[in-house]
Amino acid sequence: MSNNKAFFFDRDGVLNKAIIKNGKPYPPKNLLELEIEKFSKEIIIFLKKLNYKIFVFTNQPDVSRKTIKKKDAVKINNFIKKKLQIDELFVCYCSVNSCFRRKPNPGMIYEAKKKWDINLKKSFVVGDRFKDIEAGANAGVMTIYINKSYKEKKPHNSNFVIKSLKEIKKIIKQENEKFKN
Ligand SMILES: [Mg+2]
């Protein structure tokens, strides 16, 4: 069994600010609308020191719906990858729920597991929406829900609930204590 562990971050509303309309989160449409969240970089540096691989897994269905240009979505992804030193981004552009890569399905997590030989039981998903947490649960990964108080269905089965990315440090320290005992 592999010892490689990973963090799977959702993108919008987690690593960068979502655009909020009527209480619901939407992706930035282009680089001009992109704003990185305050603690993203700090948390990723912290996790890399602990040997976690850092992945982004993101649904971008607005590309299929043609309300966001693919080249703008790619520019945002490339910017985030470089700025936050992400090991790999996994992106699903589909808008059909039957797509196995589209969250809440676990396809993108399985893809990373296979490619990077990741032990999912030692890994975490971080997301701000129901579909992120479901995808993590479906793949057997521990889940951290960032509650941004959107006006939409919330997940009830996450392993942890936080308000800010900086709380991840506390969670990891607690988890490491458990393994020592
Ligand atoms: Mg999100």
Contact partners, residue 21, CB within 8 Å, separation at least 6: none
pLDDT category at 176 given cuts 50, 70, 90 is: confident
Q: Give the domain extent around 146.
A: 5-180
Note the pLDDT tens digit of each residue in 38-70: 999 999 999 999 999 999 999 999 999 999 999
Say how many Å lie between the CA of residue 126 and the centre of ligand 1. Answer: 9
Mean pLDDT of 1-23: 96
Task: Judge whether 87 counts as a catalytic residue.
Answer: no
Contact between 95 and 61 under an 8 Å Cβ cutoff? The reply is yes
Q: Which of the following is catalytic: 12, 62, 72, 128? A: 12
Q: Is the per-residue pLDDT at 179 higher than 80?
A: no
Q: What is the pLDDT of residue 133?
A: 98
Tell me what the mean pLDDT of segment 10-34 comes to. Answer: 98
- What are the C-alpha distances in Å from 86 to residues 49, 56, 121, 176? 13, 7, 21, 23
CATH number for the domain harbouring residue 108: 3.40.50.1000
pLDDT (average), residues 137-153: 98
Give 21 Cα–ligand 1 centroid separation in angstroms: 14
For the chain, helix (H) and strand (E) counts, in that order, are 5, 8
pLDDT of residue 177: 83
Q: What is the pLDDT of residues 84-114, one digit of tens each?
A: 999 999 999 999 999 999 999 999 999 999 9
pLDDT above 90: residue 181 = no
Q: What is the DSSP string of 53-110?
A: EEEEEEE-TTTTTTSS-HHHHHHHHHHHHHHTT-SEEEEE----TT-TTSTTSSHHHH
Total number of domains in the chain:
1
The pLDDT value recorded for residue 178 is 78
> 152 C-alpha vs ligand 1 centroid, how far in Å?
12
CA of 8 to the centre of ligand 1 (A): 12
Does the active-site annotation cover 128?
Answer: no
CA 10 – ligand 1 centroid, Å: 6
* Mean pLDDT to the nearest integer, 107-135: 98
